[in-house]
Structure 1
Amino acid sequence: MSEQLYLDKAFFKQSLLDMAKLTEEQRDYWTSLDSDIGDGDHGVNLSIGFRGISAQMNDLYEETEDIHSLLKKSGMILLSKVGGASGPLYGSFFMKMGEDVTGKNQVSYSEFLGMIKNGIAAVQHRGKAQVGDKTMIDAFLPGLEVLETYQVEEDPYQFFEKFIEVMKKGAESTIPLVANKGRAMRLGERAIGHKDPGSESSWMLMDIFNKNLKVRSEI
């Protein structure tokens, strides 16, 4: 089934626009999580960044020649507009995501999974975090482990749902942790009992891809 599933440039355009809507809807929630252990600006910053992508999307879509260019320029907008750690991390995710599909306006499901793997690798390289540090890596790396198990005979929609479920559990796993990165590190044991905002936003943003895959499954 997965070998018959292809995702075009319009899929990524819609996903980015839907991510922009999500950041507006979740801005206060993500910011409240960050207020507990960080600078209190995670939701606000992501909202500003994705608002920039949304405002420029029509021009970006027309001016970019392939999926890679669309994602790279979107990532550059995040880098330029988003403060704190989330701008460089999410910017790097999208800039690296399409690197292996340069020149393509349509990708296979397997290529799509590879794109997400590349994005996660970029986040880890940029942030230098490991599982247990109370960062978005606590969601991303368990998700990456799921992606590495993919077999072509698997149902693509159920498989991606499993990826999201594992990422969500990873975000939950940050609650009892002491932070080893970022401003939350200064809190020591006072960070225990609070969910990391980056881990929460990461699975929710990836879930936008999941929801748009489900739309494709119904066509």
Structure 2
Amino acid sequence: MLDADFFRRWMAATAAAVDREADRLTDLDSAIGDADHGSNLRRGFTAVAAAVGKEPATPAAVLKLAGGQLISTVGGASGPLYGTLLRRTGKALGDDAADVSREQLAEALRAGVDAVAQLGGAAPGDKTMLDALVPAVDALADSFAAARAAAAAGAEATVPLRARKGRASYLGERSVGHQDPGAASAALLVAALAEVAGE
């Protein structure tokens, strides 16, 4: 079972991964966006890692606090999208649960991903973070390792796509041939989850 400490470690591992990969995320974003995705997420997840520390006491509370931090510290679309993902996932887990199963997390993450799709008006195939998140949530029913592999494959699969949402969509055909930075960072989030789970 996954307790609050597991979720705190997930956020810390994500912060470390984003810090390590921030330059690559910004390089991806410079090709089809504002060239600030890495620096924005680094600032946001650094704040998250500091905030979740030893508190709070339940998985839901960790994710809600993390989501709130991202919304308040990350500029652009990334803050609201990642913040919504984590807050809605936390809400779906329920405030009273001291620990949750992988299956419960998969179900709650699906609610979070649905909320992101609604907020951004996007769907898989639009060259967004959903291209990594949707297959990851589907695969999480099998294992954490399967979710990580599915997210990585989903992010890679954005390269030949034409962007239909977000800043990259303004580029039209010129968005083809570049990996979506949001899908790349979403794959980092899922990889950190698998890492903390020992898979």
**TM-score range for the pair, normalised by the shorter chain length:** over 0.9
Task: Specify which of 149, 153, 157 is matched with residue 169 of structure 1.
Answer: 153
Residue 5 of structure 2 corresponds to: 10
Task: Specify which of 142, 154, 168 is matched with residue 135 of structure 2.
Answer: 142
Instruction: Say if 2:172 is the partner of 1:188.
Output: yes
The answer to whether the 8 A contact 1:65-1:103 is kept is no
TM-score normalised by structure 2 residue count: 0.93
The answer to whether the 8 A contact 2:28-2:179 is kept is yes
TM-score normalised by structure 1 residue count: 0.85
The answer to whether the 8 A contact 1:134-1:179 is kept is yes
The answer to whether the 8 A contact 2:52-2:65 is kept is no
Equivalences for 1:1-219 in 2 at 5 Å? 6-58=1-53, 61-62=54-55, 64-99=56-91, 100-147=93-140, 150=141, 159-214=143-198
The structure with more radius of gyration = 1
Alpha-carbon distance between aligned partners in 1 of 2:89 and 2:100, rounded to the nearest angstrom:
12
Alpha-carbon distance between aligned partners in 2 of 1:128 and 1:142, rounded to the nearest angstrom:
18
SS at match of 1:125: helix
- Stretches of structure 1 that go unaligned for 5 or more consecutive residues are 1-5, 151-155
Aligned residues: 198
> Percent identity over the alignment?
39
- Counterpart amino acid of 1:86? S
Compute the RMSD of aligned alpha carbons: 1.5
